[in-house]
Amino acid sequence: MESSKDSGDVPEKASQDEQASQDEKALQVEQASQDEQTLQDEQALQDEKASEDEIVSEKHMKWATKFSSSASAHDLRCSDVEKERQDGTSPRGVLEACLRGSDSVTDSSKENSTVSVTRFSNSRALTNWGKFLKLWKRKSVKRLSPLTIPKMSKRKSRSTREDPELTHIYNYKSSLMNFSLSELQTATNNFNPENLIGKGGFSEVYKGRLKDGRLVAIKRFTRGTEHERTNGFLCEIGIIAYVDHPNTAKLVGCGNDGMHLVLQLSPLGSLGSLLYGSKDKLDWSKRYKIALGTGDGLTYLHEGCQKRIIHRDIKADNILLTEDFEPQICDFGLAKWLPRQWTHHNVSKFEGTFGYFAPEYTMHGIVDEKTDVYAFGVLLLELITGRRALDHLQQSVVLWAKPLLDNNDIRELVDPSLGDNYDLEEMNRVVLTASLCIERSPLLRPKMSKVVILLRGDEYAEEYAKEQQKLTHKRTYSEELLDAQEYNSTRYLGDLNRLKEIALGS
């Protein structure tokens, strides 16, 4: 029985060996197939990489051929600048994104020049500013190192002069400081109300002194939702970082533990504090200098800056004064970039300061250069009369002064504290300019470049005054919408009261 059993096991074992052999061969075939596929994939990747290397090499060859005759340290720096501009999260990249966003909106607006905006018109730029803000807060260093600008070859220097955009990039230097909340609290004595020098719809401005002794104005965004505060902070820094003029405020840095902007400040503070809060009244020569400097700064924003900027909140409290009474326009929280192809902005939310609103703004929400011109005219009246734009009885200096301006009653207009201590010729020029700036029709208001001519009494002032009377200059959109007969003092006062009711009820 045992012998029979052993003989039966032999075929069964042979069958198992044969099956194992077949399985092994199948595995070998499958492995060979996988190895072949792997080799094919590797070859395909090598071919693709070789193709990419060939393309890159070809591009490098073309670049080298094109620029070999003028390669220099400046050329390499130019390449680095371009890479930094393409980085949407770098400080330069964020600033350039804001400009590119504005340009893209400009190009798309050629057919329709009307736009309705509230705070920030470009979502991509706002997103990039948000990224920049997060990076700023994470910075361990206290200062962003300035960009060094190497000397340019003659050929590059010529091409740069021909390209204003490139010139601006080379001239831009980042040296903004990053302050902790404790540093700002120390500088302002914990934001003591005694150091409060200005207040707006979303912010407060305090006078402070840094550890190195420098006086600064610290703007703190305190009102509205977190989104509104952040939006206002990013909007303002996105504009003021590109403003550079002797009569505009200088940005020193930002706070990293809250929405704070730090600006240069002289011991004199703001025009409003000196004009209305000081026992020592400003003499006429200083007032005249302030009028000229503010006019120059506003002309720069409208016509000399890289982008047309409408300030929207020109007033005495937003004019800072240096040690020698040189004015500097500050607070760009409501400012708007106005693309070249656009005639105006239409804003859906009324913002600003009562007493400075132009009629077309109260009626239609129109914002263009002429709305700033009107506010500047109100500021001139404040310098002439010593009165606030709106006094404690809510009386408008414009409505009070209009009959006196029409009758050229200089003595009744002039601030009593001045007495007869003023240059009559200068006073006449300022009075004439103020009367033109506060015309109810934008058509009758001069542009700021003409305003400074009138104020200085340049040789073309008389000729321009005659041209102004003929109304031959180009009309802005607001000028087309309003003419001299459309608006009167009664309607203006009614609309002003209506806006107050809306603002107080909201």
Concerning whether 313 is annotated as a catalytic residue, the answer is: yes
On the 0-12 / 13-18 / 19+ scale of CB atoms within 10 A, 338 is: buried
Overall pTM > 0.75: no
pLDDT at residue number 51: 58
Task: Provide the 8-state DSSP code for 256.
Answer: S
Domains and CATH numbers, the chain: 116-151+175-265 (3.30.200.20), 271-505 (1.10.510.10)
Residue 353: what are its φ and ψ, rounded to 5°? -125, 125
CB atoms within 10 A of CB 447: 17
Quote the CA–CA distance of 461 and 480 in Å, as a whole number: 25
pLDDT at residue number 202: 76
On the 0-12 / 13-18 / 19+ scale of CB atoms within 10 A, 349 is: exposed
pLDDT at residue number 209: 94
pLDDT in tens, the chain (506 residues): 444 445 455 556 566 667 767 777 776 766 776 667 667 766 766 666 555 555 544 544 444 344 333 333 344 334 444 444 444 433 444 444 444 444 443 444 433 333 333 334 445 445 554 554 555 455 434 444 343 334 444 554 454 455 544 444 344 445 688 999 999 999 999 999 999 977 776 788 899 999 999 999 899 988 778 888 888 888 888 888 779 999 999 899 988 777 899 998 877 888 998 999 877 889 999 999 999 999 999 999 999 988 889 999 999 999 999 999 999 999 898 888 776 666 555 666 767 788 998 988 888 788 889 999 999 999 999 999 999 999 888 889 999 999 999 999 999 999 999 999 999 999 999 999 999 999 999 989 999 999 999 999 876 666 666 665 554 344 555 555 554 444 445 555 555 555 455 444 44
Q: Which of 296, 313, 317, 372 is catalytic?
A: 313
What is residue 385's three-state secondary structure? helix
Quote the CA–CA distance of 273 and 265 in Å, as a whole number: 13
CB atoms within 10 A of CB 365: 15
Quote the CA–CA distance of 273 and 217 in Å, as a whole number: 13
Residue 219, annotated as binding a ligand: yes
Q: Spell out the residues 6+ positions from residue 347 whose beta carbon is closer than 8 angstroms to its own.
A: 116, 117, 118, 365, 367
R_g over Cα of the chain = 34
Half-sphere exposure of 83 (CA within 13 A, CB side): 6
Q: Spell out the residues 6+ positions from residue 201 whose beta carbon is closer than 8 angstroms to its own.
A: 223, 351
Q: Spell out the residues 6+ positions from residue 251 whose beta carbon is closer than 8 angstroms to its own.
A: 176, 237, 240, 241, 261, 262, 263
